Amino acid sequence: MPGIINWDELWKATHAGGFHHHGKDLAAHWDSRARLFNKRVMKNKQRANDQVAILGLTPAETVLDVGAGTGRLALPMARQAKSVTALDQSAGMLACLQENMAAEGIGNIRCIQKSWQDVALGELEPHDVVLSSNSLGVYDLKEALSKMDALARRAVYIFTFSDGKRDDGLRKFLKESRESKKGGGHGRREVGPADYLVMYNLLADMGILADIKMMTWQSDEHYASLEEAVAEWKEMHEVPDEKDQMLREFLSQRLTKDGSGLCMHRSHRQVLISWQKGGASPA
């Protein structure tokens, strides 16, 4: 039951611009950056393993990974659980996931190419654990969350972004670097509370009293040269040509010498919203 703030409507109002990156729809955006994303995230398996350890999976359990991407979490989860259903709207991301499965000799992941909003309840069987990690690009968040809840037998885990205003400077740089770019931005209006706060309060309105945990992850990104770092960041974050110099300066300030190459130490803030099933039924 909504109180003085209607969190459902607030989410829709802040995402009324839809989900797009620089004019491309979300699936096309992830298709085009799948290979580079995969290369980058697969370098940091420790973080993925630490995230998966939180879930306490057992060998008898099944997992539904909503917005599984290239399998950063699906692969380590598949090693611990009975099976994983990896759903993603991007064919490019799932193609990388399938290559990763073959390379790692993993056979118990089923890939489904679909948007979460297009999945009808009843179309998928319930899973013990339902998870999403930085992957809820949906306009109707209430519907998306209630479907995750309905399909989970034991628990739901949602890793999501914290308030971007307090990150390690990357967001500020990207915002400035894209200001001149036509059709730039992410669709979301930079007003109102951070997404995770809307999500948490919306869940409460739905009768789901979730746990919320603030987490900080450290990572080191290694590059052979400044040129390699500039090329990778330019492609990854779609920095326009006219901002090359700005990108070069930003990276030079952040990179430190590391043996024969360069290293960027990064600190990522993330939020985990989770709930166990078996309590009172949601409203």
Ligand X SMILES: C[S@@+](CC[C@H](N)C(=O)[O-])C[C@H]1O[C@@H](n2cnc3c(N)ncnc32)[C@H](O)[C@@H]1O
The residue among 133 and 262 lying less far from ligand X, judged by its C-beta, is 133
* The only residue of 15, 21, 33, 72 in contact with ligand X, by rule CB under 6 A: 72
Residue 69 in the binding site for ligand X (CB under 6 A):
yes
Distance of CA 150 to the CA centre of its chain: 21
Q: How far is the CB of 7 from ligand X (least distance, A)?
A: 19
Burial of 180 (0-12, 13-18, 19+ CB in 10 A): exposed
One residue of 44, 62, 90, 162 binding ligand X per CB under 6 A: 90
Among 63, 73, 97, 130, binds ligand X (CB under 6 A): 73
Least distance to ligand X, CB of residue 73, Å = 5
Which of 38, 137, 202, 243 is in the footprint of ligand X by CB under 6 A? Answer: 137
| Contact assessment for residue 128 and residue 85, using Cβ atoms and an 8 Å cutoff | no
How far apart, in whole angstroms, are the C-alpha atoms of residue 8 and residue 24?
25
Interacting residue with ligand X among 85, 100, 135, 201 (CB under 6 A):
135
**Using rule CB under 6 A, residue 76 touches ligand X:** no
Smallest distance, ligand X to C-beta of residue 249, A: 26
- Taking the complex as a whole, the smallest distance from the CB of residue 188 to ligand X amounts, in Å, to 13
User: Residue 174: how many CA atoms within 13 Å on its side-chain side?
Assistant: 18
Answer yes or no whether residue 44 interacts with ligand X by CB under 6 A.
no
Q: Is the CB of 168 or the CB of 246 nearer to ligand X?
A: 168
Residue of 93, 152, 202, 203 that binds ligand X (CB under 6 A): 93
Minimum distance between the CB of residue 120 and ligand X, rounded to whole angstroms?
A: 14
Annotate each residue in 214-253 with x if it binds ligand X (CB under 6 A) or - if it does not, as one string. Answer: ----------------------------------------
**CA–CA separation, 252 and 246 (whole Å):** 10
b/e string for 36-52 if b means 16 or more Cβ within 10 A?
A: ebbebbbebeebbeebb
Distance between CA atoms of 269 and 91, rounded to whole angstroms? 28
Q: What is the DSSP string of 37-104?
A: HHHHHTT-HHHHHHHHHHH---TT-EEEEET-TTSTTHHHHHHHSSEEEEEES-HHHHHHHHHHHHHH
* Range 105-134, binding ligand X (CB under 6 A): 115-117, 133-134
Please say whether the beta carbons of 37 and 236 come within 8 A: yes
**In this structure, what are the phi and psi dihedrals at residue 16, rounded to the nearest 5 degrees?**
-65, -25
**164 secondary structure, DSSP code:** G
# binding residues, ligand X (CB under 6 A): 21
Binds ligand X by CB under 6 A, chosen from 30, 223, 233, 250: 30
In the complex, the residues that contact ligand X under the rule CB under 6 A are 26-27, 30, 41, 67-69, 72-73, 88-90, 93, 115-117, 133-135, 137-138
